[in-house]
Amino acid sequence: MTLTPSFRAHGLDRMFLGWEERDPGRSDVSGIAHFEGAPPRVEDLRAWLAGFVDVLPGLTCRLTGSSRRARWVHDPHFDLARHVVEVEVPRDTPLEAVAASVLDRPLERDRPDWDLSLIHGYEPGCYSLCYRVHHCCQDGGAASHTLRTVLTGATPTGTSRPEPLPGRAVRAAGLMGRLLGEIAGTSVAGATAATPLSGRRRLLYAHVDRARLRRVAQPLGGGPNEAHLAALTGMLHRWSAASGVRLHRPALFLAVDARRPDDPPSWGNRVLALRLPLLGASSSPRERLVDLIARGAAAQGHRAAARDLVRWLPGRLCGWLLGRQLHPRHVIGGSTTLLFTPGAGLDPKFVAFHPALPPGHLFVAALLVHGTSAQLCLVVDEALPLGERMADFYLQALAHLETPAPPVIPTQPPRAEPIHP
């Protein structure tokens, strides 16, 4: 992103800004990193971040105007002291409350919509850094890349080798037809007789070993992400049985980052969603895992096609498409998986990512993989019955996936072999 006096925002940015206009205070994404050691001085943290303004020029930009005519403008009065702040919380404050102490404060709209909070006091010899940004400025992938760049000083080092244009165009056209078909479909996803949603979020965490996820899915040809999605499916069915809320044609959205591996951290949104129908409660955990592994293999091609759609379609059409994809008529929640690789700078004890909760959704999950561990964050609507138990339901479902499948008992007795003299 180059700094110019003013230019119109992408259609995806304007769509997320529309969320804020309809439901103020719920449209930010954030990442929190926990460290061991004495907290730095906030002045030193500001000086450290000042060295990244040239690498991340969007830090000095903000959106002005309504969602229909929003424009990016450079803030001539940009001041890091308004963005990098210190927050002291009482001792023995739980992890969820540590994050909530920052996330419950609204972002100020008279300046670029982001902040970095230095949080300490909750435990001796520990501190946290929480990077928060409005979704109209960055999607989850861009926000996690920015947090990694700020903490480690590293920029993306991946490489991309795109396929020849004709094949990519065919795949993109096929995916566009599929997405339009799903939007126009008559099937309705939802939760029957659920308590009306409040729009207020509840943060829940669960720590998962990465090797554990791999062990669950690898024998069937899958990976950690398929095991995670199978656990999410089991979580939903366990919650439904415990709360008495019947799920009707449950489906989730999977966020797809449209950036290439070698793209630098950027401002703005470049994301689409893929709809993931889930098997019903009558299915076994193994059946759900097998189904998700098959769908995951098919989704790999869709991810590349989604990147091309975001690059080729007009921004206004992208915003309309994503808005329809996330409508609660089609999905009841979503999931995203992010990779946080360590660098030469600050090395956090662990990292968690908080996605935005779309209007009308029961929950949204983010699995952030950091080294050999994975940190799950569930953002659940506060009014959801038994919503505070969602993380427990997830861990129970994951443990059930690890249980060996019972032997198959034939429904008919085996045929006797003929006896030959």
pLDDT tens by residue, 333-361: 999 998 877 665 667 888 889 999 998 89
Closest C-alpha among 277, 242, 177, 259 to residue 396: 242
| pLDDT-wise least confident of 118-122, 222-226, 247-251 | 247-251
Residues in the chain: 421
Closest C-alpha among 12, 310, 340 to residue 144: 340
**Which neighbouring-strand residues pair with 115?**
132
The two tokens of residue 299 are 């989704």
Burial class of residue 1, CB neighbours in 10 A (0-12, 13-18, 19+): middle
Residue 158 reports pLDDT greater than 70: no
* Residues 57-92 pLDDT 10s: 888 998 888 888 888 998 999 999 999 999 999 998
* Residues 380-394 pLDDT 10s: 999 999 999 999 999
The two tokens of residue 127 are 């501190």
How far apart (Å, rounded) are the C-alpha atoms in residues 358 and 23? 10
How far apart (Å, rounded) are the C-alpha atoms in residues 204 and 199? 16
- Percentages of the chain per state (helix, strand, coil), in multiples of 5: 35, 25, 40
* Residues 27-58 pLDDT 10s: 899 999 999 999 999 999 999 889 888 878 88
**Which neighbouring-strand residues pair with 133?**
29, 114
Closest C-alpha among 221, 189, 127 to residue 358: 189
Q: What percent of the chain has pLDDT over 90?
A: 42
How far apart (Å, rounded) are the C-alpha atoms in residues 325 and 257? 15
Contacts 24+ apart (CB under 8 A), 142-145: 142/259, 142/265, 142/266, 142/267, 142/268, 142/269, 142/270, 143/29, 143/30, 143/31, 143/353, 144/31, 144/338, 144/340, 144/353, 144/368, 145/265
**Stretch 286-296: mean pLDDT:** 91
Question: Residue 412: what pLDDT?
Answer: 43
- What are the counts of helices (DSSP H) followed by strands (DSSP E) for the chain? 10, 16
Higher pLDDT, 20 or 205: 205
Q: Which residues contact 278 (CB under 8 A, 6 or more apart)?
A: 233, 236, 250, 251, 252, 288
